Amino acid sequence: MKYVILDLEWDTVYYPPQKRFVNQILQIGAVKLDENFNKLDTLELNIKSQISKKVSKRFTDITGITTEDMLSGIPLYEAVEKYNTFVKDTQVAMTWSDTDLYTILDNQKVLLKEKVTFSFDKYLDLQKLVQGEMQRKGYESKNQVSLESAAQFFKIDTKKFEFHTALDDSLVCGELLKATFNKDRFNELLKDTKNPEFFARLRFKARPISNIKDEAIDKKHLEFRCPECNAQAKNVSKWKYHNRWFSANFKCAHCGFKFNGRVSFKRTYDEVLVKRRICEYRVKKNDMQSMSKEVQLTSNRN
């Protein structure tokens, strides 16, 4: 089996036709490995922008790629064709996290009009594999680990590499793959890109549900029990939506305890994620005004 590890560098620029920013791919780097993770071949391509005449200072500072490098590059469609030729005899493609895949999909749609697309067969998110092995060795953070931090964790000598250049990042990934490979866990993470669901998942954008009447909401999640006595509580106000949370006031039917129940719903490709909270009782503004008047009247009578 042969593997290829792909890395991209991109610059964020404003794209007037769609009135939004696009992460345009300006460099492709890849390394091809044999079944024992020995390097067989490499690929490095600079790409000429279709949108801008220069690169941002931030992009140059991070990658070392200058405007001159970009202007001397080849068109994106030609770079993709060269990449596809490079990987034609490989079985598995990998990237460090699936972020590059989102950029690829957007560039294919916006800049290439789907006339040329990156060739994939089997795909694996190498970051997931490596971070899983790190956690088995005691790494506790649940945040996505950077390539440099992972290399340091496994004591990989990176002095000869320049991080944030596409080819060198792919080469570091190759070293990490060799250091962390476990056949069973590797196969568990392997995805078939020929399955239509693979890219459907990538294109799907998780989103909060803001309509309390949405059919995806299971109404049982809108019910609350009293945090004091665990009896069923009664909703005594309308549901309000703010900052991705629905909230309503509740009163316990048994002990009379009042509290504010909050719930959020997030639609993912597979399911609706639900979060619930119990907070301090909230009184409506109009009720507060009425209470103030009552207090004032009582005070005047005294």
pLDDT of residue 290: 38
pLDDT of residue 283: 63
User: Rounded mean pLDDT of 129-154?
Assistant: 94
- Summarised one tens digit per residue, pLDDT across range 265-286 is 999 999 999 999 999 886 655 5
% pLDDT > 90, the chain: 88
Alpha-carbon Rg for the chain, nearest whole angstrom, is 27
- Summarised one tens digit per residue, pLDDT across range 53-96 is 999 999 999 999 999 999 999 999 999 999 999 999 999 999 99
- Summarised one tens digit per residue, pLDDT across range 247-265 is 999 999 999 999 999 999 9
pLDDT of residue 101: 95
pLDDT of residue 167: 97
- Greater confidence (100 vs 293) lies with 100
Residue type, 82: K
pTM assigned to the model: 0.79
pLDDT band, residue 291 (cuts 50/70/90): very low
pLDDT of residue 280: 87
Residue 246 pLDDT greater than 70, yes or no: yes
pLDDT of residue 142: 85
